[in-house]
Chain A
Amino acid sequence: MDLSPTTQLEMQRRMLRIRRFDERASRMVKRGQIPGTVHTSIGQEAQVVGACMALGDGDYMSGNHRSHGHPIGKGSPLGPLMAELVGKATGVCQGKGGSLHLADFAVGSLGESGIVGSSIPIATGAALSSKVLGNGKVSLAFFGDGAANQGCLYEAMNLAGVWKLPVVFLCENNQYALSTPAHTVTSGVIAERAAGFGMPGVRVEDGQDVLAVHEAVVEAVERARRGEGPSLVEVVTYRFNEHSEGLRLGTDYRDASEKAAWVERDPIVLFRQRLEREGVASAEELDALEAEVMAEVDEAVRFTDESPYPDPSVAFKDLYTEPIGAIA
């Protein structure tokens, strides 16, 4: 796949944004600076960015509980996302959503979801809207290997199949549903399940390679845009950190050597090596890019720190489009 140097550098930039943002969030939640828990995408950046950058700016995307990478991958600025994690008024959801429920409609991010599988029908519906209105937009639904066993995925694939909706079902197979290895709860190969719905299903075995993911998703997006209907793309990847940070889960269910082998295949390191090797960018340029991204994250934290908490009265706002009377 022939991608311009600008596009390739943008891929690296977005992967770095996810990594540095999540590293910072991980530290902040451990220090009590972020309430609740966060679920990081560290290790899965190639899969997130490869997929998101296969979409156009106007296209839609819905996500899941591993939730920061998707809007960042779609191009959302970091400040309001970080402010949302802390619960500030300037947060992308004004402090109503938090880490699990980030949404940034300005970049087509229709929302992350704390309920496994629950946002798959949302992206499917966005595709229905594109089809009825004829606006050419494509939707992408991110979900994990755990959600691959939720019935709503199959209801959605069937509906999208019969209506030929422009939607891409993207399974982020990081091989664990919290502590449960996918192979112990998932029968067969997820990508092969597409055949039952008469749609293409592809498995990207190397989900650490941003270009491999990108290529597979571009094909699915183009097919959707041509009016040929949905596709399923399964990407095999790995999360480097705990399922959830801020909770002390306390059991080591993953083999240390397995984890070490995946950490060896850090998607950001791999892509940097490729960019240098192929002369897309020099080491100095790539160092500068990393510094720029680090500065963006610092700025996001500064923006968050300087932002106020929401006024308590806002707790009753936006339940309905207009207040409906006594609810307090």
Chain B
Amino acid sequence: MSIPNLTPIYLDNNATTRCAPEAVTAMLPYFTEQFGNPSSMHSFGAKVGHATKGARASLQKLLGAEFDSEIIYTAGGTEADNTAILSALKANPERKEIITSTVEHHAVLHLCEQLEKEGYTIHKLKVDGKGRLDLDEYAKLLTDKVAVVSVMWANNETGTYFPVEKMAEMAKAAGILFHTDAVQAVGKIPLNLKDSAIDMLSLSGHKLHGPKGIGALYLRRGARFRPLLRGGGQERGRRAGTENVPGIIGLGVAAELALEHMEQENTYVRALRDKLQAGILAAVPNAFATGDVDNRLPNTLNIAFEYVEGEAILMLLNKQGIAASSGSACTSGSLEPSHVMRAMGIPYTAAHGTIRFSLSRENTEAEIDRVIAAVPPIIAQLRKLSPYWGENGPVTDPEKAFAPTYA
């Protein structure tokens, strides 16, 4: 229920981005006149095959991959994550252990939980209060029993980076395959995979202004691999199924645009994000930014508002035409707040009230000003309803042992 005369403001780009008009335009002919199957041995197929080759080159460039054949198209990030982990297990059947972290995306965590039931040992690296890993703990786990390490490049909720390049070097030294879920990082920060020790990397088109339903798995040449989907010989036999040609074309254009806007992402978008953070925290008491704020994605800001609940905040923001997201329990239908917030030890007083603002190059300063103006009254309104909030701040409460410092 948004107010009709307010232009909507979209700050949920870590959930999905608007598909770039250039990508849409490029895709359209591949639904109509360029409809051939790239596997077909005639001119209809050949033209399409040539176009997908161009898109692959664009993605190769964005990733800094050495060969375009190192890219396997998938239906999205989840399929890429699943393929990477399951492939590593099948390729190394004698190894029954996996290393991951407590704050991974569910595409990795839920798969690992299932694998645990099937007899694999899962080591979940813990994070500290800022969402950072302990590399000493990681080093101790790198044994010849481990088939694969799978840790994300940047966290989807807080934006916090993991030192994946260093971790990949450590895994390589121990003879272990290294996979990173880079769904949030690709397109936002420069990548140079050919000079890294990363064996596999997942990405998703719709997170970088490409279409939904297309993603990719980067697979280092020579890395042991077993396909998830078997059937035809598409993707060099590594991912069977007729290619999502329009999606591939759209992703290729999105990759070109991401490379073109990389600097803007790290200057303009970062400045907007910082302004938003400073504006909100200056006006709202008992609120703080979560994660490693000095080492995170340039577009991501996750704020915990104490003593209010996230979904209620989202509904009031939405009424003002502002779209964000929350790690609160009520948005997911579960009773526990985001596993990322819990893993960081964010207390319940704050974990239920986290709001993620994720920006893109399409946002403007005027929009950020409007959000900075909108948030404080919303929080005040909800705190007025809260039994945990009195006239002058939080009421004395046995559950309020937590005393965060507000930067």
A and B: interacting chains: no
Query: Which residues of B are at the interface with A, using a C-beta cutoff of 8 A?
Result: none
